């Protein structure tokens, strides 16, 4: 059951968090050319996509408590299949936006239920690795999406074909998850049902603060970095292929997410959080400072991949440990905060980029995780309710 759930979750996150949530940013240069989009419009469409993620989280939690993990996961993969199909057929910005909204909503549907299923079916000692493995499915999905985009440039086929492939892969993931999740019972979380008030205590604030900053930085990067590097180019490589390189390195370095639990054990959670926040800041700053070099592209994309995959794994096991009596609800809350940061961050970044330029925008966003790293206090970063500091 452990390996089956991990494999199914890996496939679901590879689709929903790969082309579903991040595919728009990968193809921004093609979308800007096809639909005459400004940076503000890119930011708005991306923001609406993250709003789909937010709404997907809410709906997934509602059905998870009533029908178990199978229904929301399959709903999300169906949304990914339909959304990517719509993008492949889009003829204007409105149709593109509908497709992006549906495809991105799949990320909200697909991941939280696996946190719940792992809590029920996997031993406590194996849970951090299982959650890290599931969340790192994103890195493989992103790298493969980048590889397909690179093939698009080298073989000169249309971007719509890529999205048709994404739709086919989503349909296959739907079938695989349908087979795997039938083995997980359809029962709500044990114990009394929890409400939002149960989440509002001192120990949860660092988790939600990190989640909000993570939402801002990750959304801004995946929405604007690939296009920014493409407009500057790297020596010896086609400008059209540059976005694919950004996401390939992003995904490959993101495989480090499998080491998250070991890093937590070696450094402790407070220092791991500080390191990840500084990694996010450095990634954004490098995109502004070295956008026309291989060093800038590889280091910026790689650091962002490390930040996104490790932080997502941290949010998964941190919330599962902090809210042991209602793990899926606690995880949903942290992802809702992430989604809120993503909606706000991408919309504001698009406006700022049009107003004062992308370099200044990247530096401005980089200051947010930098400031957060300075404010992380070890005595408030706890992993279990029993660790609550006495006041």
Q: Which domains does the chain carry?
A: 2-181+195-385 (1.20.1250.20)
Q: Which of 179, 182, 289 is nearest to 228 (CA)?
A: 289
The residues, ordered by sequence, that sit 6+ positions from 48 with a Cβ below 8 Å of its Cβ are 97, 100, 101
Taking the model in full, what pTM does it have? 0.88
Provide the CA 243 distance to its chain's centre, in angstroms: 18
d(Cα 374, Cα 360) in Å, to the nearest integer? 22
Tens of pLDDT along the chain (391 residues)? Answer: 556 677 788 889 899 988 998 899 999 999 999 999 999 999 999 999 999 999 999 998 888 878 888 889 999 999 999 999 999 999 999 999 999 999 999 999 987 787 777 766 676 767 666 766 776 778 889 999 999 999 999 998 999 999 999 999 999 999 988 888 876 665 554 544 556 667 777 788 899 999 999 999 999 999 999 999 999 988 888 888 999 999 999 999 998 888 888 899 899 999 999 999 999 999 999 999 999 999 999 999 999 999 998 998 898 888 878 887 776 778 888 999 999 999 999 999 999 999 999 999 999 999 999 999 999 887 667 666 644 444 4
Q: Which of 316, 326, 382 is nearest to 132 (CA)?
A: 316
For residue 386, the model assigns a pLDDT of 45
């Amino acid at each position: 059951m452990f390996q089956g759930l991990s494999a199914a979750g890996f496939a679901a996150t590879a689709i929903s968090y790969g082309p579903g949530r991040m595919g728009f940013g990968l193809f921004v240069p093609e979308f800007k050319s096809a639909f005459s989009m400004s940076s503000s419009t890119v930011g708005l469409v991306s923001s609406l996509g993250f709003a789909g993620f937010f709404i997907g989280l809410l709906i997934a939690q509602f059905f998870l408590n009533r029908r178990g993990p199978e229904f929301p996961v399959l709903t999300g993969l169906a949304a990914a299949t339909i959304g990517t199909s719509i993008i492949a057929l889009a003829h204007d910005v409105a149709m593109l936006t509908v497709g992006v909204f549906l495809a991105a909503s799949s990320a909200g549907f697909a991941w939280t239920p696996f946190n719940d299923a792992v809590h029920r079916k996997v031993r406590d000692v194996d849970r951090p690795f299982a959650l890290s493995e599931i969340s790192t499915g994103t890195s493989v999905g992103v790298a493969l999406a980048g590889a397909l985009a690179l093939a698009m440039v080298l073989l000169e086929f249309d971007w719509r074909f890529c999205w048709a492939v994404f739709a086919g892969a989503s349909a296959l993931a739907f079938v695989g998850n349908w087979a795997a999740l039938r083995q997980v019972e359809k029962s709500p979380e044990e114990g009394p049902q929890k409400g939002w008030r149960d989440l509002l205590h001192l120990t949860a604030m660092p988790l939600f603060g990190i989640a909000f900053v993570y939402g801002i930085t990750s959304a801004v990067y995946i929405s604007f970095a690939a296009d920014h590097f493409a407009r500057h180019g790297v020596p010896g490589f086609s400008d059209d292929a540059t976005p694919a390189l950004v996401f390939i390195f992003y995904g490959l370095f993101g495989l480090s997410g499998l080491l998250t639990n070991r890093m937590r054990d070696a450094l402790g959670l407070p220092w791991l959080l500080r390191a990840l926040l500084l990694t996010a800041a450095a990634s954004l700053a490098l995109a502004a400072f070295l956008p026309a070099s291989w060093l800038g592209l590889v280091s910026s994309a790689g650091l962002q991949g490390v930040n996104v995959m490790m932080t997502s794994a941290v949010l998964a096991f941190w919330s599962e440990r902090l809210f042991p009596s209602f793990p899926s609800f606690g995880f949903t809350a942290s992802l809702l905060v992430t989604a809120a940061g993503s909606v706000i961050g991408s919309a504001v970044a698009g406006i700022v980029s049009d107003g004062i330029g992308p370099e200044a925008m990247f530096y401005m966003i980089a200051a947010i995780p930098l400031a957060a790293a300075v404010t992380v206090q070890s005595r408030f970063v706890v992993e279990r309710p029993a660790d609550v500091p006495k006041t």
